[in-house]
Structure 1
Amino acid sequence: MGFTSRTVAELVRLRWDDHRPGLWFEGRCRTHHEVAAGAAARAALLRDLLPSGAEPHVGVLLDNTPEYPMWLGAAALSGAAVAGINPTRRGAELARDILHTECRVLVTERAHLPLLDGLDLPGVRLLVTDTPAYTDLLAPYAGASPDTADAAPERRLLLYFTSGSTGAPKAAICSQGRLAEAGRSLVDHFGVRADDVHYICMPLFHGNAVIADWAPALAAGAGVALRRRFSASGFLTDVRTYGATYFTYVGRAVQYVLATPARPDDRDNPLRVGFGTEAGAVDAAAFEARFGVRLVEGYGSTEGGAAIQRAPGTPRAAIGRAAPGDDLAVVDPVSREECPAALFSADGRLLNGHAAIGELVNRGPHRFEGYWRNAEAEAARRGHGRGPARPDAAADGDWYWTGDLFYRDADGFLYFAGRTDDRLRVDSENLAAAMIEDILARYGDATAAAVYAVPDPVAGDQVMAALALREGAAFDPGAFAGFLAGQADLGTKMAPRFVRIVPRMPVTATNKIHRVGLRRDGFRCADPVWWRPPGETAYRPLDDADLAGLLAEYRARGREDLPAGVGLGIPRDPR
């Protein structure tokens, strides 16, 4: 398919006068033209609402409703940027996200207004989409047509949050040109056609849904079907109702769909492909066997700096090889030297993890466009200050450092081996350990707290915390659960699943918390460990029966291939 559009705004304008069905939501269908007209009206409104001299940023705190893609289109047409605001954030941290991205307009809906109660948001104009006042405000702009005069490939279009070692979430920048290019690339890769329908059930405040689902649909002129929030029980019904052929996912969502009761007609659906991450080989095979739908796993840095593509012949435990154009290497972050290839024992155990595991780095051209107002994090991504100076420092000064740990086998296949100490991914949410530690530091009985990731039995991570208690204190699980419930800024994914009570916090020779050792022990350690089983709010001791059940679930879900060093005692099989 040939493309000439260099901006998302141009792609929106192409849908003007396209009267084919274009967007489905809760029983109503809008044409491509209606969606483009809605984007044009909102762009005209936004031009009038943004104060002179202000950053052209609009925060969007919405479920997956038609307003979301229309505001994405509006921002593109007006040369503005959308900051996707995560509704799982709470209190001061939620306010921080809105104010950090300098949003002068915040678009939300009545269901999310309680999240804003009591927040100090000076200078932020609130638009509540499902109210008469909003309808009246938009009415004068109903005749606007798509105007791309304010659009350019280099203009910011997305500010989407990703957590990292700096603690507070970082707002990654994505330009119109990069998003349009990503859409075109996925159209070519998956053969997306104008008569396809993309099912968007992942939240649009994440890059997964916008970059991998909405953008290729827009580029190809395909239709979009929205689900307000993901529903496992509603997944297949929606797919059939809308004739969906393509969707994106995260591993947890796939597991939820597989957990629904099987039916003889499950394979009777129009889906052609699913594209996402963290499904795992076992669940991907089960999904294809049950629904007849191929899941294509990929690794892509949210910031656009690196990508790995899975292809036929990829070993079961591997992610794949570097995407075309990327020069990916596994690098020792101290020496900046490339790590040696991984060596495996006969039973598949990684033998030289200490030497083979390093940080995944893109040494070639990349599309990382920086973070909003975070020069320190941006410099870290580009490798500044990492390791000693090298003779070719000028050459590697703009390498892209992913922050993810990998190892590479002799055939060049890349294997994920974990994240840096301060990063976790829970139910597709990126979290920063430092933020959770700050909250746990308020717990009166604790003198020190460390937060780190342990692998989830299905996909991603779970939060584990180590607590050192004040002298004479004993861990009270009820009091601790009550403390967590009372923290207004504790997001819905942040509460620890496992709590280890240590006599003293382990530290390194430089008196830093020894997180590597904590992660290596996981929940199999000599210290008492308490946990909250899935679906429960109370903590209880992790006993031998619980441990056996967890390990059986790891095996059943194909999670033998866990990050090296995590003390679960499960053999690895790279093939």
Structure 2
Amino acid sequence: MTAIKKSASTVSTVPTVSEYVQRQWGDRRTGLRYGDLALTHHQIAAGAAARAALLTELLPRGVEPHLGVLLDNTPEFPFWLAAAALAGAAVAGINPTRRGPELARDILHTECRVLVTGRVHLPLLDGLELPGVRVLVTDTEEYERLLAPYEGARPGEATLGPVRPDSRFLLYFTSGSTGAPKAAICSQGRLAAAGEALVSQFGTGRDDVHYICMPMFHGNAVIANWAPALTAGATVALRDRFSASGFLDDVRAYGATYFTYVGRAIQYVLATPERADDRKHALRIGFGTEAGAVDADRFARRFGVRLVEGYGSSEGGAAIQRTPGTPPGAIGRPAPGGDLAVVDPSTGRECQRARFDEAGRLLNGADAIGELVNRGPNPFEGYWRNASADAERRRGGWYWTGDLFFRDTEGFLYFAARADDRLRVDSENLAAAMIENILARWERVTGVAVYAVPDPVTGDQVMAALSLRSVFDPSAFAEFLSCQPDLGTKMAPRFVRVLGRLPVTATNKVHRAGLRREGFWEGEGEVWWRPPGAESYRRLSEADATSQLPGPPGGPPARPARDRGGMG
């Protein structure tokens, strides 16, 4: 075994992730649970130290200190996060739903010289050209032999150089509507600060159990769940992959008190059969995005658990904090230190404050909805090797989130849509998220996504994809819409696609880009539509499609979507 280098000492008031990992040494309380496995904080620190020592030997000198982690949520994932922190390396979370050249591109773009994976994912690497990449397969005897010489390592002994707050720690991919995913940079100091802030916000501590069921290759699980658990000294409980049917059983088995969610995870849990013991658990709080006010209320009534909808740009450029008195539907006010504004992207001028009628309907959406920007200093640390994406985010010295918001006269901010989810119907700007929140009230709905399809003349028409508890009843749906006081005249969907389940990404976010591409021409499920001037919906027929609707670009009208049934 070659000599292990001693880390250089640094003086800083800003903590690092490495420091928090080192504090676990000697702590014999349970720090990690995974099925029947239970490890102490000390065992986690010892395992991380061994992996850090191995990493310093495997990474060639003079290269970027990056490793890729292509794993489900097994104990090896937090082991390698902690190991990278100790060694002063950066982890690129590799998405196992990526395939072929796209998967290879993610690994090579982030310059990973070591790739940690398991046997279950080895088929994904078959045939890929990954020059200079050393693959470690965790559930093998060879892996155990590689680690064995470093079993006596102590945290902080083996490093690749000085470990500082500004040391690069995460390279996590954020998807966009076009182009390849961008790898956002997060330093050790920023992640530690994020963990400390969430501990302060939610009052979690050493006795809490953080349930991580969202994928750890994504920023949500690491930044909003693993980091606060580490800084609080709490226990982490892992689930390989999110399971709606297994959620409550896991929560009970682990004694979980805190969890995070993204996308449609909450809808999936609510779609499981109700049980008499739904409230028998220790869970106190869930923190995440995109649950929506209706589902958050249903979750609280059924499980007795408060969901806190937060907003924090994955890149760190903007944050909104929920405070007491936040109105229903609002996210909150700008977090301390930010100078957030809602601006018209075409002019850079601040939008009008939102006005509502007595039913809570936004009256001036065309003038109030704009892009959320941070005009002050912010912790955005850039994208890896992507100068054009950096410039797009930092236009004019501001941080542009790419998300649409509106702001009321009291300063509360309301999420409207991703920038790509804005619709323009009859010259009126609409936000997909606002329409989704209304459609989610229908008792038959288990999932909803709203997106734009082209209008035959100009602009957009509203299309909604619905997953339902029963077959689609066009009359009942039309009656429901007519009873919604805040559904504007341009908001009612012209088209409805009924699906067994909404298509989602690996992070449980609705795959809107795919739905937009399919429009009313392709894809699964039934397609219904409301002809101009009609009050009810009918099945979209080939005759309707041929005579009434625009054809796909560059070709004649396509056949309507094939019927795959309307059960949810």
Please tell me the TM-score bracket, short chain as reference: 0.7 to 0.9
Asked if structure 2 preserves the Cα contact closer than 8 Å seen for 1:278 and 1:460, the reply is no
Aligned to 1:82: 91
Asked if structure 1 preserves the Cα contact closer than 8 Å seen for 2:316 and 2:378, the reply is yes
Matched, 1:518 2:503: no
Aligned to 2:499: 533
Deviation at 1:354, TM superposition (A): 2.1
Aligned to 2:210: 198
Aligned to 2:130: 121
> How big is each residue's C-alpha offset from its partner over 1:415-453, in whole Å with a ceiling of 9 and x where there is no partner?
1122223899xxxxxxxxxxxxxxxxxxxxxxxxxxx98
**1:316-395 equivalence runs, <5 A:** 316-384=328-396
Asked if structure 2 preserves the Cα contact closer than 8 Å seen for 1:306 and 1:326, the reply is yes
Distance 1:200 1:143, change over 3 A: same
Aligned to 1:60: 69
Q: 1:259 aligns with which of 266, 271, 286?
A: 271
> How big is each residue's C-alpha offset from its partner over 1:447-495, in whole Å with a ceiling of 9 and x where there is no partner?
xxxxx989766699859686xxxxxxxxxxxxxxxxxxxxxxxxxxxxx
Aligned to 2:164: 152
Asked if structure 2 preserves the Cα contact closer than 8 Å seen for 1:45 and 1:138, the reply is yes
CA distance in 2, matches of 1:366, 1:331: 17
- Matched residues, percent identical? 67
Q: Which runs of 5+ in 2 are unaligned?
A: 1-11, 424-430, 441-445, 466-489, 504-522, 540-568
RMSD of Structure 2 on Structure 1 (CA):
3.1
**1:99-498 equivalence runs, <5 A:** 99-147=108-156, 150-164=162-176, 167-384=179-396, 397=397, 399-421=398-420, 462=449
Aligned to 2:40: 31
Distance 1:541 1:240, change over 3 A: closer
Aligned to 2:105: 96
Q: 2:527 aligns with which of 520, 527, 542?
A: 542
Asked if structure 2 preserves the Cα contact closer than 8 Å seen for 1:165 and 1:423, the reply is no
CA distance in 2, matches of 1:84, 1:401: 24
CA distance in 2, matches of 1:200, 1:4: 29
The 3-state SS of whatever aligns with 2:269 is helix
Deviation at 1:332, TM superposition (A): 1.6
Deviation at 1:352, TM superposition (A): 2.2
Deviation at 1:274, TM superposition (A): 1.1
Asked if structure 2 preserves the Cα contact closer than 8 Å seen for 1:60 and 1:83, the reply is yes
Amino acid at match of 1:114: P
Amino acid at match of 2:408: D
Normalised TM-score (structure 2): 0.75
Amino acid at match of 1:192: T
Distance 1:179 1:197, change over 3 A: same
CA distance in 2, matches of 1:536, 1:33: 42
> How big is each residue's C-alpha offset from its partner over 1:541-563, in whole Å with a ceiling of 9 and x where there is no partner?
5125999699xxxxxxxxxxxxx
CA distance in 1, matches of 2:68, 2:538: 43
Amino acid at match of 1:543: W
Deviation at 1:164, TM superposition (A): 2.6
* Greater relative contact order (CA < 8 Å, ≥ 6 in sequence): 1
CA distance in 2, matches of 1:529, 1:276: 30
Amino acid at match of 1:277: T
Amino acid at match of 2:383: Y
Normalised TM-score (structure 1): 0.75
> How big is each residue's C-alpha offset from its partner over 1:355-403, in whole Å with a ceiling of 9 and x where there is no partner?
211110111221100000001111111114xxxxxxxxxxxx2x21101
Q: Which runs of 5+ in 1 are unaligned?
A: 385-396, 425-451, 467-499, 507-513, 551-575
Aligned to 1:561: none
CA distance in 1, matches of 2:299, 2:14: 36
The 3-state SS of whatever aligns with 1:543 is strand
CA distance in 2, matches of 1:265, 1:138: 44
Asked if structure 1 preserves the Cα contact closer than 8 Å seen for 2:495 and 2:529, the reply is no
Asked if structure 2 preserves the Cα contact closer than 8 Å seen for 1:453 and 1:519, the reply is no
The 3-state SS of whatever aligns with 1:261 is coil
Amino acid at match of 2:364: N
Asked if structure 1 preserves the Cα contact closer than 8 Å seen for 2:318 and 2:374, the reply is yes
Asked if structure 1 preserves the Cα contact closer than 8 Å seen for 2:262 and 2:291, the reply is yes
The total of aligned residue pairs comes to 463
Amino acid at match of 1:232: A
Does 277-286 or 198-207 show the bigger shift? 277-286
CA distance in 2, matches of 1:423, 1:126: 42
The 3-state SS of whatever aligns with 2:18 is helix
Distance 1:295 1:197, change over 3 A: same
CA distance in 1, matches of 2:537, 2:254: 43
The 3-state SS of whatever aligns with 1:233 is coil
Distance 1:262 1:333, change over 3 A: same
